[in-house]
Each structure stands twice: as C-alpha cells, then as structure tokens.
Amino acid sequence: MAARVAGKAVIIEVSQDKENNLMATSRPASDNSQVRTIVEWVLFIELDLKPFYRLIAGNPKLAFITQDLYGLKPSRPASLFEMAVTAITEQQLSLASAYSIRNRIVQRFGEPVEDLRVFPEPDALAKASLEDLRSCGLSRQKSEYIRGLANETVAGSLDLDSLKYMDIGKARELLMNLRGFGRWSADYVLVRGLARIDCVPSDDLGIRDVIGQYLGTGHRLISQEVNEKLEPFRPYRGLLAFYLLVAHRLNIGLSN
C-alpha cells in the first residue's frame, strides 16, 4: 500500500518473519517504526477477537463466523481525512460507484510514488476547483463538502486525529457538526475509520438487509429493529455487522 511517513509518500510492504511477527518495510527507505505504526493501524493489530468469538459461540445462526471467517479483521484507512472523504463519496451511492469516484480523485490529486498514488493530502483537495472535483464524478454538493473539509483541516480548525482520543458520544457529535455529515456518515467513520466496533450505521440499507437475513426472518429491517437484533452483542455490534456483510458478499452462512 502507499502512505505518508514523515511527510513523504512511500510504499509500505508487509511480511512476516520466521516467528510469525509482523514486519513492515518501506520503499524508499524510511523510519520503520513509523511504517510499522501505520501498518498496525490499518490492519487493526490490537483487536483481540477471542472475546467476540466467545460471545457469539452460543448462537447457532452465527457458527459460520468461526468456521469460515475465523481471524477476519476490518481494516482502517491510513488517515481519518481519507476516511471522512470516503464517507462523503459513499453517501447514497453503491460501493462500486463510490470506489470509482475515489479512484479518479486519487489519480487526479494524489502524489505519485512508483506505480501507485497516495490518497490526496488535504491541501491538494483544498486547492482544487469545484469543477475539477466534479470531473471525478462527484456532485456539486459533495464537491463542496470535500473541499470544505479539506479547507478546515488545512486551516487547523479541524483535527480529525483528535477523534482517536474521544469517547463515542463526543466523537459522533464532532462529526455530525461537519457540513455534509449526518448520523450515518458519523457512525460509518466511527466503525470503519476508528474501528469503534460497537458502532453501527443502522440506517444503512446493506446492514438492514444482512441483519434481517442472518438474525431476522429474511426481510429488510428498519433501523430500530437492527438495533434490537444487535443489542445482545454489545460491545461488538459493529464488528458483527461487518462479519455479516462479508458473509453475505461471499454467500456463506445462509441456508438455501
């Protein structure tokens, strides 16, 4: 993957040594301690899955998780700015469409490093015209949201990294005060960008579908029903939703 270390764009390579320990190196050479920190953040190394597996062990509907998806962890974007932009691009769009838009943003505004490009820094998107952003496939409104987010970050009035040290309530409040962010976007950043694994964007249609299929009677649930079905799985509700989304995509865990 490509990321920034000490202000420089580098390619990060991950491998394992003979003792099965994580090894992180970079090209061109950089401080490997910083590289390792980024890799551990992205791969969510600190997450211990064993308590989650013990919690779901008594539910026969969820046996496939430890049988077919054992060891699976959600990954995080390298930066919270990238995550916030990702949340904006995915509002009311399919994942495939949003991915294509982000790919065009990266290709147009990201710094090249060998044959890859790093996700654009805030200053690059702050300087972009609305027309340039719209040419990537964004609506005018989303272009304004992203440029505004970038401007606030560059000006120092917004420090997304501060979210790492806030409790869920304060972090959600900060996010929902950003232009273009509602409850869905805030919870999406919390669960995917910060890996607050008890957060669930319960308004999400995909989540409403999979919770209904795996924990309900097969039909799409409303948000309140999603919360009710997931309540027994605190403090791992978001992690369980992640597993069910993956299982649905791989077509496992559901009887025909």
Judge whether 112 lies within some domain: yes
Judge whether 197 lies within some domain: no
Judge whether 15 lies within some domain: yes
pLDDT at 180 (0 to 100) = 95
Same domain, 36 and 91: no
Among the three residues 145, 163, 181, which one is the final residue of a domain in this structure?
Answer: 163
Among the three residues 163, 179, 204, which one is the final residue of a domain in this structure?
Answer: 163
Judge whether 204 lies within some domain: no
Judge whether 231 lies within some domain: no
Residue 192: pLDDT above 60? yes
Pairing of strands 112-113, 22-27: unpaired
Confidence of residue 136 (pLDDT cuts 50, 70, 90): very high
pLDDT at 69 (0 to 100) = 95
**How many CA atoms are closer than 13 Å to the CA of 173, on its beta-carbon side?**
5
Q: Which domain holds residue 127?
A: 80-163
Residue 255: pLDDT above 80? no
Tell me the average pLDDT across 231-249: 95
Judge whether 97 lies within some domain: yes
Report how far residue 141's alpha carbon sits from residue 30's, in angstroms, rounded to the nearest whole number.
Answer: 39
First to last CA, the chain: 38
pLDDT at 176 (0 to 100) = 96
Point out which residues pair with 22 in neighbouring strands. Answer: 16
Report how far residue 254's alpha carbon sits from residue 64's, in angstroms, rounded to the nearest whole number.
Answer: 9
Report how far residue 38's alpha carbon sits from residue 15's, in angstroms, rounded to the nearest whole number.
Answer: 14
Same domain, 103 and 157: yes
Which helix (H) or strand (E) segment holds residue 25: the answer is strand 22-27
pLDDT at 82 (0 to 100) = 95
- In the chain, how many H helices and how many E strands? 13, 5
Cβ atoms 25, 32 nearer than 8 A: yes
Non-local CB neighbours of 152 within 8 Å, separated by 6+ positions: 158, 178
pLDDT at 15 (0 to 100) = 56
Q: What is the CATH number of the domain that holds 114?
A: 1.10.340.30
Same domain, 84 and 27: no
Q: Which two tokens stand for residue 226?
A: 């999603």
pTM exceeds 0.85, yes or no: no
Judge whether 102 lies within some domain: yes
Same domain, 32 and 84: no
Pairing of strands 2-5, 116-117: unpaired
Same domain, 107 and 155: yes
Tell me: the pLDDT tens digits for 23-74?
Answer: 545 555 556 777 788 888 888 889 999 999 999 998 999 999 999 999 999 9
Q: Which residue has the higher pLDDT, 139 or 112?
A: 139
pLDDT at 215 (0 to 100) = 94
Residue 205: pLDDT above 80? yes
Q: Which two tokens stand for residue 161?
A: 């990294």
Judge whether 96 lies within some domain: yes
Q: What total of structural domains would you count in the chain?
A: 2
Among the three residues 163, 194, 215, which one is the final residue of a domain in this structure?
Answer: 163
Same domain, 101 and 36: no
Cβ atoms 98, 90 nearer than 8 A: yes
Tell me the average pLDDT across 116-144: 95
Report how far residue 32's alpha carbon sits from residue 110's, in angstroms, rounded to the nearest whole number.
Answer: 23
- Cis-peptide, bond into residue 120, ω within 30° of zero: no
Same domain, 39 and 99: no
Same domain, 86 and 28: no
